[in-house]
Amino acid sequence: MFPFPFIKLAFGGVLVNISQGDPQPQLITNEKIRTGRAAKKTRFKNKGYFLLLLPPLIVFIIGMIIPLIMGIYNSFTDWDGISLTKSWVGFANYLEIFKDEIFMKAFKFTFLFMIFNTIIQNIAALLFAVILDSSIKAKNLYRVIIFSPVLLSPILVGQIWTKMYGDILPSLNDLLGTNLNFSLFSSPDTVLSGLLIANNWQWIGYWMLIYLAGLQAIPKELYEASTVDGGNWWQKFYHITIPMLAPSITICTIGIATGSLKVFELIVASTNGGPGDASQSLIMYIFNSAFTSQRASYASAMSVIFLIVLLIFAFIQLKVLRKREVEL
């Protein structure tokens, strides 16, 4: 119903004139666009759509924007989370953050987690996608197997891997007669590797699907042309697949990076920041400061810093990766 009256009016003039043999088509002036009856109807419909947008917008403002502003305000006070008084302290919380060793340790851990995750998950997901896009048998079965951990809650994944490292894998030692150290969660040196394995096990399937979709959008003619020109599989991969996948690479890299920086449930369900605080992620430290240590304003200041770091990251990645995208 919607487009036809508009087109009739906007182009009606042209149609009518052409059919009448007039070689000069009627100009559609801005005046006509703004005041025409169809334009008014469009604006009214737009107002209607805006009104429908209002409920989620209200919820978004109440649930996210207002707490964000309140949190930023709190970071400049010395509030402890439950007392009724708050007093302004300026930048004291922020200055303390930069001298805080525990913050630096948590930041370093989270950062390393993000870097390794991004590299491993991206490459593995891409590899699996390429393999499972080819014509091997039972590829749907493999896709399901690789994707199913995505459906589990991170809490469950944490519990599963705790049991794996604690009981199941060490019992492999008894079976095979070997003496490998499988208890990756028990030492501060190996806990990062343990968490990386658990996290990648869960999420590779998800990013693999995005790469699969991207792969299937690459026109087959490019590969055929490359074969005609005598290109081998590496050249095809490097010069066709990767550039054409650039939008997917953008999505996956930014998604994995920002998701890894926010890791929380997996760690709470598996090591709880331990042993000691070797695997305490930044979000965990913020949460513990706010609720266990009763330093809500300090936690707010850390959250603001974290938000800025996340924004900078996303921005840099977006800029770098968008440049490499190829438009069809």
Partner 1 sequence: MKRGFMKVASVLVVLGLLLSLAACSSKSSSSADGKITLKVLDWNTTNKNEAQKAIVETVKKQLPNVTLQFENINWDKDFNSVMQTRIAGKQLPDIIMIKGGDHPKYAQFLMDLSNESFMKEFPNDVRKTLQVNGKDYAVPYTANFQGVFYNKQIFEDNHIQIPKTWAELMDVAKTLKDKGITPFTSHFKDYQMGNSANQFATLEVFSKYPEWGSDLQKGKVSFAKSPEYKETFQHFKDIYENTEKDPFGVDFTGAADMFANGKTAMWIIGTWAPAQIFKNNPDFKLGFFPTPAVDAENTKLIMQSDYTFSASKATEHPKEVKKVLEILATDKNLAKEYINQVQTQSLLTDVVPDVKSDYVNDINTYKNAGVIDANIGNVQIPWPYQQQYTTYIAEWLLGKKTLEDALKATDDFKSKVKFQTN
Is residue 59 a contact point for partner 1 (CB under 8 A)?
Answer: yes
For the CB of residue 190, give the shortest distance to partner 1 in the complex, in Å. Answer: 11
Question: 81 or 259, CB closer to partner 1?
Answer: 81
Is residue 168 a contact point for partner 1 (CB under 8 A)?
Answer: no
Selected binder of partner 1 within 141, 155, 293, 316 (CB under 8 A): 293
Stretch 83-102 residues interacting with partner 1 (CB under 8 A)? 83-84, 100
Quick one: which of 258, 252, 251 has its CA closest to 313? 258
For the CB of residue 162, give the shortest distance to partner 1 in the complex, in Å. Answer: 8
Is residue 173 a contact point for partner 1 (CB under 8 A)?
Answer: no
Spatial distance between the Cα atoms of 74 and 71, rounded to a whole number of angstroms: 5
Is residue 67 a contact point for partner 1 (CB under 8 A)?
Answer: no
Grouping H, G, I as helix, E, B as strand and the rest as coil, residue 77 is strand
Quick one: which of 153, 156, 109 has its CA closest to 274? 109
Selected binder of partner 1 within 5, 13, 71, 166 (CB under 8 A): 166
Question: 215 or 290, CB closer to partner 1?
Answer: 290
Q: Which residues contact residue 67 at a Cβ distance below 8 angstroms, ignoring those fewer than 6 apart? A: none
Amino acid making up residue 79 = W
CA distances from 80 to 68, 101, 291 (A): 17, 21, 9
Amino acid making up residue 110 = T
Spatial distance between the Cα atoms of 308 and 230, rounded to a whole number of angstroms: 49
Q: Which residues contact residue 218 at a Cβ distance below 8 angstroms, ignoring those fewer than 6 apart? A: 240, 241, 244, 245
Give the relative orientation of helices 139-147 and 101-133 as an angle to the nearest 10 degrees: 170
Stretch 221-240 residues interacting with partner 1 (CB under 8 A)? none
Sole window of 29-37, 222-230, 247-255, 289-297 interacting with partner 1 (rule: CB under 8 A): 289-297
Binding track, positions 246-275, relative to partner 1; x by CB under 8 A: -------------------------xx-xx
List b or e across 222-234, with b for residues whose CB sees 16 or more CB atoms inside 10 angstroms.
eeeebeeeebeee
Enter the tokens of residue 310: 């996340």
Question: 96 or 325, CB closer to partner 1?
Answer: 96
For the CB of residue 56, give the shortest distance to partner 1 in the complex, in Å. Answer: 9
Quick one: which of 91, 63, 66 has its CA closest to 77? 91
Note whether 267 and 278 are within 8 A (CB): no
Binding track, positions 178-207, relative to partner 1; x by CB under 8 A: -----x-xxxx-------------------
Is residue 48 a contact point for partner 1 (CB under 8 A)?
Answer: yes
Amino acid making up residue 218 = I
Selected binder of partner 1 within 291, 307, 308, 311 (CB under 8 A): 291
Sign for the CA dihedral angle at 281, 286, 291, 293 comes to positive
Number of chain residues interacting with partner 1 (CB under 8 A): 41
Question: 162 or 258, CB closer to partner 1?
Answer: 162
Is residue 165 a contact point for partner 1 (CB under 8 A)?
Answer: yes
Spatial distance between the Cα atoms of 262 and 326, rounded to a whole number of angstroms: 30
For the CB of residue 318, give the shortest distance to partner 1 in the complex, in Å. Answer: 33
For the CB of residue 69, give the shortest distance to partner 1 in the complex, in Å. Answer: 16
For the CB of residue 54, give the shortest distance to partner 1 in the complex, in Å. Answer: 6
Contacts with partner 1, residue ranges (CB under 8 A):
44-45, 47-49, 51-52, 54-55, 58-59, 80-84, 100, 162, 165-166, 183, 185-188, 271-272, 274-277, 287-288, 290-296, 298
